[in-house]
């Protein structure tokens, strides 16, 4: 990126205040700024740094009012954080430059690649696979038979996408994630052994989904495991067979959802949350880290915590009582001694 503060302000629909002709060529944290760098101020806790930053320009809200002299160019915009994110996507995305097939990649003659697709070395694109325009398939990715990947997707190294799975447009899947592995389905037999149940379904990932590294999303026994539009999954997550994750839900690392549970829209799920199978979770609910969800939740837009999960305010009350248990035990033992003393005269 090489752009003046004034040009950047026009691009972002903002205004430049100060040396609008200063050249910007990189980005930096506001507290670590240097000449030629662009920073942003979105959190008031970092305001002190704007008076000392070495960055040549800083994105701020249009109504930002300095309380000390400013030595950098201010670019006033509606939302500094959103603007900064937009710039990172536009100018700092090395994937955008990757096009074509690298040597040692394999693309079956029956596969279809859209315009400006990139396929890295040692990637394997199977028969019947379809990859949309401008998608990037990094080295050592496996794309199974009849897989469909939409446009503008980024599939990072080592991802494995099993046969018949479908991925929408603008999706990002990080390294070593597995899409479409068999669901955990076994039928118990009279001799107490287990017979594998064939997993004949697939995984459907809708548009604008991002999935972290080392995550596993199992194919359905029948039908589809579905990750709806806009979902964001962290690293090290397990999504079991026939699960549905609702639109624009977010899930932090080491969480897991057991088979056939249906999660609503706009959920916020903290790290290490466990959701049991065959449950229904209503829209807008939020779950604190390490919560255990073992029953259906029909109410919308509530906060939950604990194992088994409780409404947050109730869980906090229980936690407060737990902290007092040693004190309460001492008081009970003291009262018992007094009662025994009275009884024994």
Domain boundaries, the chain: 3-92, 96-311
Query: Which DSSP string do the residues of 124-179 spell out, in sequence order?
Result: EE-TT-EE-TT-EE-TT-EE-TT-EE-TT-EE-TT-EE-TT-EE-TT-EE-TT-EE
pLDDT of residue 341: 85
Q: What is the pTM of this model?
A: 0.81
Name the CA radius of gyration of the chain, rounded. Answer: 27
Task: Give the CATH superfamily of 96-311.
Answer: Hexapeptide repeat proteins (2.160.10.10)
**Contact in structure between 63 and 41 (CB atoms under 8 Å):** no
Q: If we measure between CA atoms, which residue out of 74, 91, 89 comes closest to residue 9?
A: 74
Left, alpha or beta for 22 (phi > 0: left; psi -120 to 50: alpha)?
beta
Which is the catalytic residue, given 163, 174, 241, 248? Answer: 241
- For the chain, count helices (H), then strands (E): 4, 40
Q: Is 101 exposed, middle or buried (0-12, 13-18, 19+ CB in 10 A)?
A: middle
pLDDT in tens, 72-112: 999 999 999 999 998 887 776 666 678 999 999 999 999 99
Residues with pLDDT less than 50, the chain: none
CA distance 255 to 251: 7
Q: Which residues contact 179 (CB under 8 A, 6 or more apart)?
A: 159, 160, 161, 162, 165, 167, 173, 203, 205, 211, 217
% of the chain beyond a pLDDT of 70:
98
pLDDT in tens, 230-256: 999 999 999 999 999 999 999 999 999
What CATH number should be reported for the domain whose range is 3-92? Answer: 3.40.1390.10
CA distance 64 to 76: 8
- 94 in helix, strand or coil? helix
Residue 241 is among the residues annotated as catalytic for this protein: yes
Q: How many CA atoms lie within 13 A of 86 on its CB side?
A: 13
């Amino acid at each position: 990126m090489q752009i003046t503060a004034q040009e950047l302000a026009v691009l972002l629909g903002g205004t430049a205040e100060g040396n609008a002709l200063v050249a910007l060529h990189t980005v930096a944290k506001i507290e670590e700024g240097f000449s030629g760098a662009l920073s942003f101020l979105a959190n008031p806790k970092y305001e002190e740094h704007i008076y000392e930053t070495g960055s040549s320009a800083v994105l701020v809200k249009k109504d930002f009012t300095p309380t000390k002299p400013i030595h950098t160019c201010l670019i006033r915009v509606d939302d500094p954080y959103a603007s900064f994110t937009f710039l990172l996507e536009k100018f700092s995305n090395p994937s955008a430059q990757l096009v074509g097939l690298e040597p040692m990649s394999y693309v079956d003659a029956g596969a279809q690649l859209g315009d400006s697709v990139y396929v890295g070395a040692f990637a394997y694109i199977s028969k019947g696979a379809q990859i949309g325009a401008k998608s990037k398939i990094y080295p050592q990715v496996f794309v199974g038979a009849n897989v469909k990947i939409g446009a503008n997707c980024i599939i990072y190294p080592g991802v494995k996408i099993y046969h018949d799975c479908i991925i929408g447009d603008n999706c990002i899947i990080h390294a070593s994630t597995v899409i479409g592995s068999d669901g955990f389905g076994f039928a118990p037999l009279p001799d107490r052994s287990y017979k594998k149940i064939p997993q004949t379904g697939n995984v459907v990932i809708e548009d604008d989904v991002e999935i972290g590294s080392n995550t596993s999303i199992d194919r359905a026994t029948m039908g589809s495991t579905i990750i709806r539009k806009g979902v964001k999954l962290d690293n090290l997550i397990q999504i079991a067979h026939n699960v549905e994750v609702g639109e624009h839900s977010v899930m932090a690392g080491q969480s897991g959802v057991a088979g056939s549970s249906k999660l609503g829209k706009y959920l916020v799920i903290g790290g290490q949350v466990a959701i049991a199978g065959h449950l229904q979770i209503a829209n807008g609910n939020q779950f604190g880290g390490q919560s255990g969800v073992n029953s259906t939740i029909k109410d919308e837009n509530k906060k939950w915590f604990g194992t088994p999960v409780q409404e947050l305010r109730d869980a906090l009350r229980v936690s407060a009582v737990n902290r007092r248990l040693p004190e309460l035990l001492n008081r009970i033992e003291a009262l018992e001694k007094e009662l025994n003393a009275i009884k024994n005269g």
